[in-house]
Structure 1
Amino acid sequence: MNAPEYAEKASEIFVLSDSFIRIKELIDNESSTIDDIADVILLDPALAGTILKLSNSSFFNYPGQIDTISKAVLIIGITEVYNLVIAYFTTKAFRKIKADPEYLNDFWERSVDCALTVKFLGTKLSVPNAERLFILGLLHNLGELVMHQFMPEKVETCKQVNSDELPWTKQLQSFGFSYADVTAELLKQWQLPYSLIEPIRDQDDEDFEHSTDETKLLYIAKRVMTLNHECKSHDPSAVITDDKLDSLAVQKELLRDASDFCDMERLSILAVLNPSACMLY
Structure 2
Amino acid sequence: MAEESVPVKENTAVAPEIHEAAKKLLTRRFKFIRKPDDSLKRLARLGVERVAADMAAHPQRYREPEPEAPLPEVSPLDPLDILRKDHQLPALPQVFLELQQAIGSRSTSADDLAEIISRDPGLTAFLLRMVNSAFYSLPMQIDTISRAVTVVGVNQLSTLAVGTSVMSLFKDVPADVIDMEQFWKHSICCGLIARRLCRMSGKGDPERAFVSGLLHDIGQLILLQVEPERATAVHAHARAKDAVLFAEEKTLLGFDHATLGGMLLRKWNFPYVLVSAVLEHHHPKPGHKEAEPLLVHCAETLATGLGVGSSGEFFVQPPSPEAWASMNFTPEQMDEMVEDLDEELEEAFSILLDR
TM-score by length of 2: 0.69
1:259 is the counterpart of 2:338: yes
Are 1:157 and 2:239 matched, yes or no?
no
Question: What does 1:94-243 align with in structure 2 at a 5 Å threshold?
Answer: 94-100=170-176, 103-127=179-203, 129-149=205-225, 150-151=227-228, 152-157=231-236, 160=239, 165-205=243-283, 208-210=286-288, 212-229=290-307, 239-240=318-319
**For residue 181 of structure 1, what is the amino acid of its counterpart?**
T
Counterpart of 1:14? 90
Deviations 1:89-124 (A, max 9, x none): 201111233344971011101100110111011111
Distance 1:72 1:159, change over 3 A: farther
The secondary structure found in structure 1 opposite 2:171 is helix
* Aligned length, in residue pairs: 273
Is the contact made by 1:8 and 1:186 (CA closer than 8 Å) also made in structure 2? Answer: no
**Residue 246 (structure 1) aligned to one of 320, 325, 330:** 325
**Which AA in structure 2 matches 1:208?**
P
* Pair 1:273-2:348 in alignment: no
Q: Partner of 1:240: helix, strand, or coil? A: coil
Q: Which has the larger displacement, 37-46 or 170-179?
A: 170-179
The Cα shift of 1:135 comes to 0.3
Amino acid at match of 1:103: D
5+ unaligned residues in a row in structure 1: which ranges? 277-281
Of the three residues 146, 155, 176, the one matched with 1:70 is 146
Deviation at 1:243, TM superposition (A): 5.0
Report the counterpart of residue 279 of structure 1 in structure 2.
none
Preserved contact between residue 171 and residue 178 of structure 1 (Cα < 8 Å): yes
Q: Is the 8 A contact 1:183 1:200 kept in 2?
A: yes
Shift of 1:51: 0.5
Partner amino acid, structure 1, of 2:91: V
| Cα offset, 1:88, TM superposition | 3.2
CA distance in 2, matches of 1:159, 1:109: 22
Q: Which has the higher helix share?
A: 1
1:180-225 deviation per Cα after TM superposition (whole angstroms, max 9, x unaligned): 0010011012111112111221222265345742211111111111
Identity, in percent, stands at: 24
Q: Residue 191 of structure 2 contacts residue 209 of structure 2 at CA under 8 Å; is this kept in 1?
A: yes
TM-score, normalised to structure 1, is: 0.86
Residue-by-residue CA offset, 1:133-188 (whole Å, 9 max, x unaligned): 1000001100111111113422532663766x433222222322111001001101
d(CA) in 1 for partners of 2:170, 2:265: 13
CA distance in 1, matches of 2:120, 2:187: 25
Distance 1:200 1:219 in 2: 9
Match of 2:137 among 37, 61, 64: 61
Residue 248 (structure 1) shift: 2.8
Structure showing greater Rg: 2
